[in-house]
Amino acid sequence: MIKKSVDKLIDKYVSDKELKPYYFKISICSVTFLISLISFVSLYILLYFNSLNEFDEQVSSAFVSLRSPFGTKIMKFISEAGDALGYLFIVFLTTMILFFKKVWKLALQGVLILILASGLNILLKGFVARPRPFEDSLVYASFYSFPSGHAMSAMVFYGFLIHIVFSLEIKPFLKYLFTLIFVFISFIIGLSRIYLGVHYASDILGGYFAGLIWLMFCLMVIYSLKIRTINTNKT
C-alpha cells in the first residue's frame, strides 16, 4: 500500500521511467532518515533526563544472568568481528567479489561511508559524554558509551552491503537471504556489546539509529548523483 502511494506521487511529478526507481528509493530513504532522526533525538532527550536508567539496568542485569563461559567466548568473537580488523577482512573479501562482478566502485563507496561513520560516532560520543558501564564489563573499552560505535558501524556497513546485494543481478531469493543474514549479524553484534558489559541497551539503540541516519543520508546522495548522471547523459 505504501509502495503504491509513493509510486502514484512519483508518477505525478516524474515522467522519465529510467529515473522513477531512483526517486522511489530516495523517498523511502527520506522517510527512514526522518524516523531514525526523530528516534535518535527522542532517545537522547530521555537519556539527558536520566529516564532510561531503570530500563538500561534491567536489560544489563538480564544479560549478566545469561552469561556462561561458552557464551562469553562466542560473544567476544562476535564483538571482535565488529572491530576494525574484522571489517578489514570482510571489506577485502567483498572487494574481491565486486571486482569480479566489475562493480568494485561500490566497495570503495562502502569503505568511505564506514570511515566517515566512525568519525561521526566519535563526535557524537564526545558531545553526549556518557560514561561506560564498567562495573560488570568482560572486555576493555575506551572513550564514551553513547552511541555504540559497534552498533553504528554494523548498521552502516551491513546496511550498505544490503544496498550492494540489491544492486547486483542475482536471484531475488539470494537477495532476501543475504538481507536476513546481514540484519542478523548487525543485530547480534549489538547484543554482544551489552552481554560483555561495555554498553547499555540505549547505547546500542542509539548506535542503530545513528547508523541508519548516516546510511540513509549517504544513499540519498548516491541516488541523487545517479539521477544527475542520467540527466547529464541525456542532454
pLDDT, one tens digit per residue, over 90-102 is 888 887 877 777 7
- H/E stretch holding 174: helix 172-195
Query: Is this prediction's pTM over 0.85?
Result: yes
Q: pLDDT digit string (tens) for 36-50?
A: 999 999 999 999 999
- Specify the long-range contacts of residues 217-221, CB closer than 8 Å, at least 24 apart: 217/33, 218/109, 218/113, 218/160, 219/25, 219/29, 219/163, 220/26, 220/29, 220/30, 220/33
User: DSSP letters along 179-199, please?
Assistant: HHHHHHHHHHHHHHHHHTTSS
The set of cell numbers assigned to 64 is 549478566
Residue 153: Cβ within 10 Å count = 25
pLDDT value of position 99: 76
Which is it for the CA torsion 189, 216, 157, 122, positive or negative? negative
**Residues near 222 by beta carbon (within 8 Å), at least 6 away in sequence:** 109
How much is the pLDDT for 21? Answer: 85
Domains and CATH numbers, the chain: 19-234 (1.20.144)
Q: What pLDDT is attached to residue 8?
A: 65
Hey, how many other C-beta atoms are within 10 angstroms of the C-beta on 39? 17
pLDDT given at position 131? 92
d(CA 205, CA 220): 22
Q: What is the mean pLDDT of each run of 10 residues along the chain (235 residues)?
A: 62 69 92 98 96 95 94 94 82 80 82 94 96 84 92 96 90 94 96 95 98 98 92 77
d(CA 212, CA 152): 8
Strand (E) or helix (H) holding 202: helix 201-234
Q: Give every CB contact of residue 49 below 8 A, 6+ residues apart in sequence.
A: none
Residue 82 has a pLDDT of 83
